[in-house]
Amino acid sequence: MKKLLILTPVILLLSGCSGNWGWYVVDPTTSSGWTNLKFMASGAYYTIVMSVTAILISVVVGLLVALPGLSKKREWRMFNRTYVEIVRAVPILVLILWVYYGLPALSGITLNVFWAGVLALALSDSAFQAEIFRAGIQSIARGQYEAAQSISLNYRDTMRYIILPQAIRRILPALGNQLVYMLKMSSLVSVIGLQELTRKANELVVSEYRPLEIYTVLVLEYLVLILIVSAGVRWFERRMNASEM
């Protein structure tokens, strides 16, 4: 049984190599293959710029939503809960469609595809960021607040200089996760026509009829992008920890 499980994909792979694969569409040694590859890779610009813009916004919004969640006042906590529960419940794809097609009808504000994508991704992610920040801030011992109070630091300074620097160190792995998640979710913005990686691949598939090869390259594009991000996050984590020692 086990052997069969390993054998099946190997056989499938080998049969794929037997000549049915049309790697010529993305063969960098031919001029058309090279053009196709460049076309696909050019989508990385929007994937990266949109994801990074969205994560920067969602981190700020997430923090601003997390803070009332830690308040002693019930109404403030209610605001936090309501925001998180509602935003978290909307599927990202639905949110993208709603922001791009629904929002203009509701408010008269028309966003271009890029900003519609950024807004939808950031909004969706902010609910998760809020929970990450809340958990991180709650993990800081009460003694840190008391020490800050005992030297008269106000709330803002306590957060800014004492609590958040420690909390952010603790949530760095989770923030890295969210960045990876964001890069992947950005592929959904292809449905409203933004020329990012997935959209480019889709367009190429339509003209070349080689979905297997083109989508395989697409998978590799995301893989490379995310491995680079992961390495970056790890490097940053090590640096932050080193500065503490």
Partner 1 sequence: MSIISMQNVSKYFGDFQALKNVSLDVALGERVVICGPSGSGKSTLIRCINRLEAHEDGQIVVDGTVLSDDPADLEKIRGLVGMVFQQFNLFPHLTVLENLCIGPRRVLGLTEAEARARAMKYLERVQIPDQADKFPRQLSGGQQQRVAIARSLCMEPRILLFDEPTSALDPEMIAEVLEVMTELAISGMTMIVVTHEMGFARRVADRMVFMDKGEIVEIGAPGDVFDAPKSQRFAQFIKQILNH
Residues in contact with partner 1 by the rule CB under 8 A: 141, 143-144, 146-147, 149-154, 157, 161-162, 165-166, 169, 244-245
Look-up: residue for tokens 């160190």? 169
Q: What is the helix, strand, coil percentage profile of the chain, to 5?
A: 85, 0, 15
Nearer to partner 1, 24 or 145 (CB): 145
Look up residue 18 and give its two tokens: 């037997």
The CB-of-234 to partner 1 minimum distance in angstroms stands at 20
Report helix angle 164-185 to 211-244, nearest 10: 170
- Name which of 43, 95, 54, 44 is nearest 226 in CA terms: 44
Closer residue to partner 1, CB minimum distance, 31 or 152: 152
Cβ nearer to partner 1, comparing 75 with 146: 146
For the chain, strand residue ranges (E) read: none
Least spacing, CB of residue 148 vs partner 1, in Å: 8
Owner of token pair 């990686």: 197
* 164, two tokens: 């958040």
By beta-carbon proximity to partner 1, the closer residue of 144 and 216 is 144
Least Å from the CB of residue 163 to partner 1: 10
